[in-house]
Every structure is written in structure tokens, then in C-alpha cells.
Structure 1
Amino acid sequence: MMLSKLAMGNVKKSFKDYTIYFLTLVFAVCIFYMFNSIESQQELMKVTSMEHDAMNFLSEVLSYMSVFVSVVLGFLIVYANNFLIKRRKKELGIYMTLGMEKRKISTILMMETFFIGLFALLIGLIAGVFSSQLMSIFTAKMFEVDMTDFKFIFSIKATIKSLLYFGIIFSVVMVFNVISVTRCKLINLLYAENKNEMLKTKNIKVSLILFLLSVVSLLVSYYLILTNGMININIYFTLSLIFGLIGTFLFFMSLSGFLIKFAQRNKEFYFKNLNMFVLKQINSKINTTYISMSVICIALLLSIGALSSGMSLQNILSKGLKEKTPYDNSFFNYKGVEKDIYKGINKIYPLGDKVKNYEQHNIYLSNEKYDTLLSPEYKDSKYNNMGNSKIHLISLTDYNEILNIQGKKPINLEKNEYALTCNNKEIKKYLGHIIDEKKQITISNKKLNLGINNLLDTVFENSIVYSNMGTVVVNEEVLKGLDIRKSTLNIKYKDLVDKEKFDKDIKEIFYKRHKEINMPFNYNVSKYQMYLESVSTKTLVTFIGIYLGFVFLVACVAILALQQLSQAADNKKRYDLLKKIGVEKSMVNKALFTQIIIYFLMPLGLAIIHSIVGLSAVNDIIKVFGKVDLWYSILITVGFFVVIYGGYFIATYIGCKNIILKSD
């Protein structure tokens, strides 16, 4: 009983020391509960069976992600706890001096961990429960479904999972505390705060060499990732990661060796106010934390990448879906022979009462290759292999049928004329010169002149990407003797058709029985299914981006905060000395503010440079799905960082100021 009272008293007495640690735990529990309660949020929404399955899949993916997240949070909590133990070594030494056994000291620490963990879990779960109510509105918006009458939702499953995962984490922390106390010697505990940090890198020449090596490594990494891209997972991609990691590590390792020397070159700056003191404080901290600074920088890169790319992809999938799905359903036949797909389906599954109108067209392969159409610049792009592919052709009759079903006016071509179509925004810039020059082309030994003086933007079929990479419209005579690449049937439903049932019927009748029947098509892409997959994908990507981005961000900024709080406590005597020699309080506060903000911005600054390069490579992949709105994702990411990074910075500054201004 006495030990529990002492432990509770210590928690209350040291609450200021525990504030950032405690708030981090609360944030962690809150976000963990929120993202694991998605399955229960379905009770508030009107969802179809397919949407129900999609939400269950999202919940399952996030559940697996939570295992990884719990490991990250576990390392963070153990790391943070280690800092707190270091701060209290003298106090623990006094306990031992007064005759308290190590076993009892360990028991006190275990109780303190239990009390803090219990309070954090309780408050975090309460915050998570209320936050999840707001999140259910966000989830409904992402899935584009209506909400039923609002009611309060409490997820037992998410609560149990939170208690289990964080219970394990706090148990590990308790074990670490016991081991830490058991191994400590009394003299080390009593004089821990008097130990000076050892310099790891002193030689200016060595430091400059390491810095130059870091710059070279990073430039090589950037070059490899930008030229190779992120689609090709090969030796160059692996090397870009290796050089990036080495460059980041060497950058922070080399800083401590020449940071002050570099600043000393500008005497006016170096001796102005307390700049000399601030630089030495930062330099001494980098000496012992360059490894953790490197890890934080990489984790911040992951956070920025997860948030930005997740938001970019979500925005593209939301905007581009309508223009990529002008039909209710598209059926594809790649068997290379002309076949009436509609007739084949209708024999097995009558379409008369379901289909309002339809069209079927063939895409032919020319003997000529795209190299004759594309401008030379394409060879330096990621589409450089396209030049070896045969040009796609479509008959004027089929093309006008496509325009008709889309409600557009037909086009006219003379026998010796052609038109050019493309809806892929990246490829368009390599085809535009044909329109500008009114270029004459040769197809099947026939010279054709441009008949339509603009690049037609036509969608031939439902597709998740802009699949019309450049198709030439010609008269039927030009196509004689050429191979059919594929046949496509596009249909539009009658108004009262149950789209979900239609998709289920196609799946049950054709895909599950394909061995028993003569399949009239290879596969189909329905607008409803694409809509559902798009909504599911954008929701999954957004949630994972926010989940991982938030966790990595909180982990990084919490470690930075704890390191600065620890340094403030260790260097309190130095700040006291400044006050004794007459330095004004405002100047001390300004020096502290400058020190903390520089320390916070160093890993973030390099992480931003990394992310600019990384996101350029990621956006090359995302562009396949549509136009990337960089400002949208940048503003969302900046908003997250301003709130969380800025909030922790302010809390750290206030905490450090309280430590150094507190009278002994």
C-alpha cells in the first residue's frame, strides 16, 4: 500500500515531466481505437452488400496495419520511457541510499507505469470513442453513402484490441524498467546528471569529407530514383534506397564536426547575443543523437510520403472516375476474331429488358509502329517502350457508333483521310505535333492526310486508367487484311435496372461456369464495380496514409520533444549560470526558442528535400490514373504538420522553459 501511494505521489509530482509522454500515449490510443472501429461504423450507414464487403476488407487491412503500428508505438513508448528513467536516476539513487531495495524500486516504477498507462488508456479510449463518431461521417463521405439516423457507436472489438495491444506494450516497458534498475550502480545513479556527453566526431577535415560523401550519396540516390522511377523494383531502385540511407546518416554524423567551425567564420553572427551558446548546445546534442536524427528524418519522409501520395491518389480517383466510365458495362474479347459479343451473352443471359442501347467495335493492329507517330521526346520518358508497339486502328463506322452512344456528333472523313484520338494526358504531348504539322501518315501502304484538325479525346471503354494511348480512325478499306487486337461491347442499362444484381448475375452465370459454356468475352468492367473499387481504393489509401502518417509524425516529434526536455534538464546549471552573469530572461528564452526550433527543423528540412524527390517519382505512377493536383495534397499535409509538429514544438518550448526557469 505504501509503495502504491509513493508511486501515485511520484506520478502527480512529476506530471510536468510526463506531460508530453502522457499526451503522446493518449494520441496513440485515440488514433488506434479510431481506425480499428471502422467495422462498427457500418451501423450508421446505408450500404449495399458489396459496400459492406468493401468496408469489411478495409477494416481487415487496417487491422493488419495496426500490428505494424503497435510495434512502432511500442518502440516509441520504450524509448520515451528510457528518457524519463534517465531524468530520475538521481532520485532512484537517493531511494537506494536510504536503504530501499532494488526490488521495491522496480515495483514503484512498475506501479508508476501502470498508473500512467491506465490513465492514458482511459482518456485515450474516451477521446477515441468521441472522435470515431466524427470519423464515421468522414467514412460515409469517402464511401459516398448516406447515413441513417445518427446514434452513438461504441466498438467493443476496437476497445479490446486497444487494451490488449497497449497492455502488451506497457508490460514490455515494465520489464525494461526492472532490467534498468537491476543493472544500475548507486554511484552511477547519484552522479548521472554530472556526466558530460562525449564528442563522436571532432576532426574538421574528417567531418567535411563525411559531409561531402553524404551530399554525393544523396545526389546519386536522387538521380537513381528519378531516372529509374518507382515502378521498376530492380537493382537501381535498391541502390537508390541504400545511398539515401547512407547519405542521411552521414549528413547528421558530419554536422557536429563542422557546424560550429562554419559558424565561427562569421564572427559578427557567432558572437551576437547567445548564438555561440545555442550552437554549442545544438552541436553537443547532435554528437550523441545523430543516429536517432537519421531515423527521425527517414520516418518523417515516410510520414510526408504517406500523407501526400495518399491524398493525391484519393483526389484523382474521385475526380477521374466519371470521364473514364461513360458506359454502364464494357465486355472485352481478346480472341483475335470478330465475334458478336452481345449475341453471345444474350443467348445465355437475356439482355432485352435490361439494355437501353449498345455498340460493339473492333481495334485493329497496323503493320506500322508508334515510333512513326510519337515525337522524339518520348524516348526519354517512361513510355519509351511504346515506340515498338503496333499502332491501334478503328474504323470510322465503329468510331461514330461510340460517339453516338455517348450522345456526341459523328465525324466525317474522306477515303484518304484519318483522325487521331487519345485520352491519356501524358501521351498527348508526344502526339500533338501531328496536329500542329498536319502530318501525313502511312497505314497499310496507303498515304493518309489529317482530316480532323484537333486531337480527339475519346473514351473507348470503361477503364481504371486512361487506356486510349493513341488510336487512328480510318475508313474500312484501310483495315482489310489487318489483325483484330480486341473487340469491345459497351452497353447502357435501362433506368430501373438493378446494377448490383446485374453484376452478380454476370459473375454467377459466366465466370463461375466458364468451363461449361462458350464464353463470349474474356472479362468485363462495369461502372458500378469500378465505382465501388474506386471508392474502396481511395478510402483505403487515404486511411492508411493518415494512419501511418499520423503515427510516424507523432513518433518523430515526440522523440525530438523528449530529447530537448532531457537536454534542458541536463543543462539547467548552464542556463542558471547565464542568469547569474546577468543575461536577461528574454534573451535566455529567445536562445532556448532558437535552439529548439533549429533542432526540430533539421530532420524535417532534409526529410522535405527527400520527399520532393520521392513524391516526384511517386507522382509519375499516380499520373496514370489522372492529373495530379499537387496543391491539394500539399495543403493537407502541411495542415497536419502545422497542427501536430507545431503543437509539439510549442509544448516542448513551454516544458523546457519551465525546467530552466524553475528555482532549485
Structure 2
Amino acid sequence: MHNGFYAKLALQSIRENSRLYNPFIISSIVSVMMTFVILSLSVNSGLKQIPGGANLQTILALGYVILVLFSAIFLFYMNSFLMKNRKKEFGIYNILGMDKKHISKILSYEILFIYFVSLIVGLIAGLLLNKVATLLIRRMLAAPVSLGFELSMQPILWTSAFFLLIFLAVLLVNIYQVRLANPIELLKASNTEEKEPKIKIVWTIIALLLMGVGYYLALTIQSPILGMQLVFLAILIVIAATYLLFTTGTITFSKLLKKNKRYYYQTKHFIPISGMLYRMKKNAVGLANISILSVGVVLMFSIAASLYLTTDNSVNTQYPRDVISEVKVGNSDAETEDTTKTRIQEVVEQISAETNIQVEDFLSYTYLNFPAQRDKNGFTLTQDVYSTQTNQTPANLYFVDQDNYQEISGDQLDLAENEVVVHGTVQAYKANTLSLLNQQFEVREEDNIEEFAIGNETSNAVNDGYYIIVSSPEVLQEIDQSQQDVLQEMTTPTSVFSQFDLVNATKEEKIDFSNHYQDKINEEKMNITNVDTRVEANGNFRALRGGVLFLVLNLALLLLMMTVLIIYYKQISEAYDDKERFRIMRNVGLSDAEIKQAIRSQMLSVFFLPVFVTGVHTLVMLPLMKKGMVLVMLNQVNLFPLSLFLAFVIFLLVYIMIYRITAKTYYKIVK
């Protein structure tokens, strides 16, 4: 037989199995399109010229690797459903005289056709979408719109090569499965049923305990940055517990329902419960997959919504003036905070005279910052505070004397020497005394203390933060010296934070002023930590937000597509399995109405159990996600709960739509 015959058989097989192949082809096209767009943006020469564009392209390049990995896993998973429902067909070919070498040729042509169709259509759609995506990215970065069209061969070649490797790997797996099986196994592969499983109370209890441990870790992790290992551990434990609960807990629950004779021996309950028990193991794994993917979809969409709604006010909170700087005090023995402040102000005035740019709202103040562990009477500082990777995440302490506080806020406190005012950014400090570094202070309650920020910090939205106002610079120096004695080489020196506005200056002039300012401070041999501008911060923030938003949307759509198709293939596969069983029930006297009611009851229980689990998982993950969002949203995380709720509602509507479509298809196949 010549190759044209196998190609014809492959095309005919794809057409006759269109109900199975069309979703697989569509998902392949979408995967090619999304990966091509991401890679095209990561090498777009125009984006490199935009402030923050280079950072965005770095994020997209990393996201491309993630997207290809997800696409590979997705296509392999979808292919497993295809092969399960095609093995009987291959068994018939084998019995009719076609050996496994010929079946392998048919599979090769099928994969080849699907690859070229997916690649061509996906690249054409990607080319059309690429311009829209470029305009969207430029709008996010507040950059001028470019009307040109850029076509690079690099994204086309890389995308073609990656998906060629994926499809070749899929083909090799398929050929391997066919060559290992004998004709009888191939004929029975799609009809293999699970035996009714035994009740597993011990494993159910273990699953519940694991879920409790995972939830406890997720709810008590103070910092997703310092506790990254615990974050991954919590996620892995929750995933493992989810699989265990579905594979053992659902069996236990169904067995308990079966023992309730008044409930079980009803037509609307008997059929779905017995059906679920008959092959619960296979159902449970699929339901667990759907639940885990659904959590990913909801979280991704909620992150995307939060990022889209976030405004530049987040940056303005962290950058209250056009230019900010931080200089460490104590570069020499003669250096004090007052001399450092004076020298900084002189440098600013000198550059202002040289550039003819007026400076206004100049503010300079001294503060001290170091981490410490919270205890009952105050805070404890040890050398290993930086290496803590447990739930005892150190709190960030920010010290300022009352004179500098008056510079910041305009309020006068008149503190006694042993008095302090403590302001918690996450939770209030309610004790009447404060113990720190062998010193005792009386805590004065001040209801009029307004929310304020010291320095250019964003970590207080992740960790507990406390602003501690002391009475005098001398007390601040004593605390500074004590923390140096404890931390030694890891000590954090006192810093002078300065900020000022530039009147009627353009973006370029502000950046140029900042560069001159940094150079001059270095010439003065001051120990500079940071010089930054609100303009550059806005550009970097837009780049970070835009890159993460675009990547998250792509991953969310891919996960949603995976969820939809897993549900679709699962229902189609089970419909063919149930077809004979429901035919027997019809023959023994069940009406179509009773069968339809039983199908509805079974599908509702199968469909909406993952939705319930998804809702619980997302609620537990909410506090941890709010802390993690600081990395891309700065301190504006109040939008995340609303975004999470909207994402879940949208997901639920899509899920109900999938249920209605698959329920009709399931019933048609069974009938």
C-alpha cells in the first residue's frame, strides 16, 4: 500500500472522529497563537525603546517558557483522551489484517496534518493578533502608538520548532502504546471498567488532615517572599489532599449514602450513586484535575482584573515627590545626620542653579530600620533574624525621633524621654510597654497619628510593619548602637531620606536632574543607597504590570481552555461508557424521563463538586495572594478581593454554560 492510502485513511479518520478531534485541533491552534504572540512581543524592537519596555520583554521571555511547558502538558493530556477512544478502532484495523506498522503510519499522517493545520492557522491568527497586542502593550506603558508593522522570522521559527517537538513526542507516545498492546487489548481499551472500590476511611481522614495542614500553612504564612518554600509546600500539600479527598473521600461519602436505604433506593438516587461507585477512581482523578485547574483559572483572572484596575496612584504613594534619595549616615566619624542633611540640601540647590530647574517641597528626615521578632512585651533582635524561614516572619521596625516626625507630618507630640508612639501598618500594637534591646519604653496612645510612610518601602503590605516614634535623636542613636552590637556586620545604619519636586520640568529633565544629583552625591563621597524618580518608577511599574497582566491573561485563557476540554472529553468518554448501561436500564423498564433525571442528578453531582472545592480553595488562598500581589501592585491590594469575587462569578457562568452543552451531548450519545 502506498503512502497516499495511509494519508487518505488519516484524513477520513479525523473527519469521522470530528467530535473528538475538533476540540484538540482548536486547542492546538490557540496554543500556537498565544505562544507566537508572547515571543513576538519579547523580541519586538519597538518595545525596547519604551521606558520599562526592556523589563517587560524580560518578563514575556520567561513567560514564553512557561506557556510552552503548559501547552505541552495540555496537549499530552488531551491526546490521552483521544487515544482511549481510538484504540478500539485500531484494534479493528489490526484484526482486519493491518499490522502495527501500518497503524503507526496512519497515526503519523494524522499528527502531521494536525500539526500543519494548527501551525498555519495559529501563526496567521497570531500575526493578526500581534499588532493588537502591541498596541495594547503600548497603551499600558503610556507610549506613543506606532502604526508600522514588524514581522520577524525568529518567533515563527522558534514557535514552529517547539510545537514540532511537542507533536513528535505525542506521536512517539501514541506509537509506543499501540505497539505494546495486542488486538484484544485495543478492542477492550475503551470499555475497561473500574471495579467498585472499597471504602477507605483511614485515607479519607489522612486527606482531611493534609488539607487542614495545607490550609493552616496558607493562612499563617506572613511573607510569601521570605517563606517561599512554605508557599510551595502548602500548594503541594493542598493538591495532594485534593486528589486524596476525591479518590477516597467521595467513595466514603457515596458508600455512606448507599447504606442509607431510604435515600439510596430511589430511581433518581440509585442510578447516579451506583454509577459513580462503579468507576469512582477514574471519575475522581478527573474531578481533582478540574478542581485544581479551576483554582488556577480563578486566581489568574482575579490577578489580571486587579492589575488592570490598578492605577498609578500606587506609585505616587511610594514616590510622594519627583525625586527621592536615601543616604546612609556615618561615612566618617565627623559625619552626623544634621551634616548629612545639610550637604544633601546644598547639592540639590547647586544642581538647581546649574540646570535652571526650580526645586520645591524639599523634605529631608532621618530614620532607622531593621527587622525584629515580635514577642509579648515588644520585639527581640538576634543575628539569625534574616535567615528566618518559618512562620515567625520578622516585623519591619521603622524608628524616627519626634522632631523628624514633625518634619514629616507637621504634628508635635512632646514625648517624654522614655515614651514612644507605636503605629502598626498591619495590626495595632496594643501593649502599654515596649521592650527592645534591653530598653523599656512606655507606649503613649495617640489617636491622631495619621497613616504615613518612612522611606521608600513596600514590604509592610507583606510583613507586619511598625513605625516607632522616639523622643530624641539621642534615644535613636542608642537604639542604633544596640542593634549594631547585635547584628554586627549585618547592621543597618541610620539613613537620611530626602524628597523634592521639580517645577515645570519635563520627564527627560527630571531624569537628567536625578542623574546629576546621584553623580554629585558620589563626588561628595556620601554613602548613597538609592536615587530614583517618579517618572522612572511609573515606567517600570507600567512595564511590570503590563507584562504580568499580558502573561497572566494568556495563562488564564490556556488553563480555562484546558478545563473546558477536560470536562468535554471526560463527559464524551463517559457517555460512550454509559451508553450500554443505560440501554439495559431502558430495556428493564426505565422511561426516558427517568433516565434523563438520573443523568441530570449524576452530572450535577459530578460537575458542581469541583466548583465547591474551587470556591473553598480560593477563599483560603485569598490572604496569601493579597500579600503576594504587593510584588506587582505595590500597596494597592484592596482591589483583589473584589477581583477574586468577579473572577469566580465569571468562571461559574462559563462553567454552567459548559454543563448545559455537555449535558445535551451526553444525553444524545446515551440515547
Q: TM-score per shorter chain, which class?
A: 0.7 to 0.9
- Offset at residue 219 of structure 1 (A): 1.0
Equivalences for residues 593-608 of structure 1 within 5 A: 593-608=600-615
- Offset at residue 592 of structure 1 (A): 3.1
Q: Equivalent of 1:354, from 352, 357, 365?
A: 357
Cα 1:319–1:465 shift into 2, 3 Å: farther
- Offset at residue 96 of structure 1 (A): 2.0
What amino acid sits opposite 2:635 in the alignment? F
Alignment partner, residue 31 of structure 2? 28
Q: Equivalent of 1:116, from 114, 117, 140?
A: 114
Alignment partner, residue 498 of structure 2? 489
Q: Secondary structure at the match of 1:139?
A: helix
Q: Equivalent of 1:335, from 329, 340, 357?
A: 329
Alignment partner, residue 484 of structure 2? none
Equivalences for residues 435-454 of structure 1 within 5 A: 454=448
Q: Distance in 2 between matches of 1:447 and 1:278?
A: 67
**Greater shift after overlay, 621-630 or 535-544?**
621-630
Alignment partner, residue 71 of structure 2? 73
Report Cα offsets for 1:64-96 as digits up to 9, x if no partner: 332233233223222322322221222222222
Alignment partner, residue 326 of structure 1? 320
- Offset at residue 62 of structure 1 (A): 2.4
Do the aligned residues in 1 keep the contact of 2:32 with 2:123 (CA within 8 Å)?
yes
Report Cα offsets for 1:477-531 as digits up to 9, x if no partner: 9989997932122121121x343454356458846x9877624633123211221
Cα 1:266–1:318 shift into 2, 3 Å: farther
Equivalences for residues 16-95 of structure 1 within 5 A: 16-39=19-42, 49-51=49-51, 54-95=52-93
Q: Secondary structure at the match of 1:487?
A: strand
Q: Equivalent of 1:185, from 137, 158, 182?
A: 182
Alignment partner, residue 403 of structure 2? 395
Do the aligned residues in 1 keep the contact of 2:367 with 2:494 (CA within 8 Å)?
yes
Q: Distance in 1 between matches of 2:669 and 2:641?
A: 40
- Offset at residue 192 of structure 1 (A): 3.5
Cα 1:173–1:650 shift into 2, 3 Å: farther
Q: Distance in 2 between matches of 1:233 and 1:447?
A: 33
- Offset at residue 328 of structure 1 (A): 0.3
Do the aligned residues in 2 keep the contact of 1:326 with 1:462 (CA within 8 Å)?
no
Cα 1:514–1:242 shift into 2, 3 Å: same
Alignment partner, residue 163 of structure 2? 166
Q: Secondary structure at the match of 2:84?
A: helix
Alignment partner, residue 407 of structure 1? none
Equivalences for residues 98-137 of structure 1 within 5 A: 98-137=96-135
Q: Distance in 1 between matches of 2:325 and 2:415?
A: 30
Report Cα offsets for 1:600-626 as digits up to 9, x if no partner: 333443233223222222324546724
Do the aligned residues in 1 keep the contact of 2:362 with 2:501 (CA within 8 Å)?
no
Q: Secondary structure at the match of 2:356?
A: coil
**Greater shift after overlay, 1-10 or 417-426?**
417-426
**Greater shift after overlay, 166-175 or 597-606?**
597-606
Q: Distance in 1 between matches of 2:16 and 2:509?
A: 64
Alignment partner, residue 238 of structure 2? 244
Q: Distance in 1 between matches of 2:76 and 2:255?
A: 36
Q: Distance in 1 between matches of 2:73 and 2:234?
A: 27
Alignment partner, residue 278 of structure 2? 284
- Offset at residue 345 of structure 1 (A): 5.5
What amino acid sits opposite 1:21 in the alignment? F
Q: Distance in 2 between matches of 1:646 and 1:15?
A: 24
Report Cα offsets for 1:433-467 as digits up to 9, x if no partner: 99xxxx9xxxx9999988x8612234455554669
Alignment partner, residue 529 of structure 2? 522
- Offset at residue 414 of structure 1 (A): 6.5
Q: Distance in 2 between matches of 1:653 and 1:145?
A: 48
Q: Distance in 1 between matches of 2:452 and 2:349?
A: 27
**Greater shift after overlay, 246-255 or 635-644?**
635-644
Q: Distance in 2 between matches of 1:67 and 1:477?
A: 54
Alignment partner, residue 205 of structure 2? 212
Residues 1:472 and 2:469 aligned together: yes
Gap runs ≥5 in structure 1: 404-409
Alignment partner, residue 172 of structure 2? 175
Q: Secondary structure at the match of 1:177?
A: helix
Residues 1:591 and 2:598 aligned together: yes
Q: Distance in 2 between matches of 1:84 and 1:42?
A: 41
Alignment partner, residue 558 of structure 1? 565
Cα 1:183–1:550 shift into 2, 3 Å: same
Query: What is the total number of aligned residue pairs between the two structures?
Result: 624
Residues 1:228 and 2:221 aligned together: yes
Cα 1:116–1:585 shift into 2, 3 Å: farther
What amino acid sits opposite 2:528 in the alignment? F
What amino acid sits opposite 1:216 in the alignment? L
**Greater shift after overlay, 91-100 or 415-424?**
415-424
Equivalences for residues 570-649 of structure 1 within 5 A: 570-622=577-629, 625-638=635-648, 641-642=651-652, 645-646=655-656, 648-649=658-659
Please give the root-mean-square deviation of Cα atoms over the aligned residues, in Å: 4.3
Q: Secondary structure at the match of 2:426?
A: helix
Do the aligned residues in 2 keep the contact of 1:417 with 1:448 (CA within 8 Å)?
no
Q: Equivalent of 1:548, from 552, 555, 572?
A: 555
**Greater shift after overlay, 344-353 or 220-229?**
344-353
Residues 1:457 and 2:465 aligned together: no
Cα 1:357–1:318 shift into 2, 3 Å: closer
Cα 1:134–1:635 shift into 2, 3 Å: farther
Alignment partner, residue 333 of structure 2? none
Q: Secondary structure at the match of 2:643?
A: helix
- Offset at residue 9 of structure 1 (A): 1.5
Do the aligned residues in 2 keep the contact of 1:362 with 1:485 (CA within 8 Å)?
no
Q: Distance in 2 between matches of 1:473 and 1:177?
A: 72
Q: Distance in 1 between matches of 2:160 and 2:654?
A: 25
Equivalences for residues 377-456 of structure 1 within 5 A: 385-386=394-395, 391-395=399-403, 399-400=406-407, 402=408, 410-411=410-411, 425-427=425-427, 429-430=428-429, 454-456=448-450
- Offset at residue 413 of structure 1 (A): 6.3
**Greater shift after overlay, 357-366 or 1-10?**
357-366
Q: Distance in 1 between matches of 2:542 and 2:666?
A: 46
- Offset at residue 15 of structure 1 (A): 0.8
Q: Distance in 1 between matches of 2:349 and 2:669?
A: 80
- Offset at residue 159 of structure 1 (A): 3.5
- Offset at residue 191 of structure 1 (A): 3.6
Cα 1:537–1:469 shift into 2, 3 Å: farther
Q: Distance in 2 between matches of 1:346 and 1:79?
A: 65
The TM-score, its normalising length taken from structure 2, stands at: 0.79
Q: Distance in 2 between matches of 1:132 and 1:424?
A: 47
What amino acid sits opposite 2:662 in the alignment? T
Do the aligned residues in 1 keep the contact of 2:401 with 2:470 (CA within 8 Å)?
yes
Q: Distance in 1 between matches of 2:285 and 2:406?
A: 62
- Offset at residue 4 of structure 1 (A): 1.4
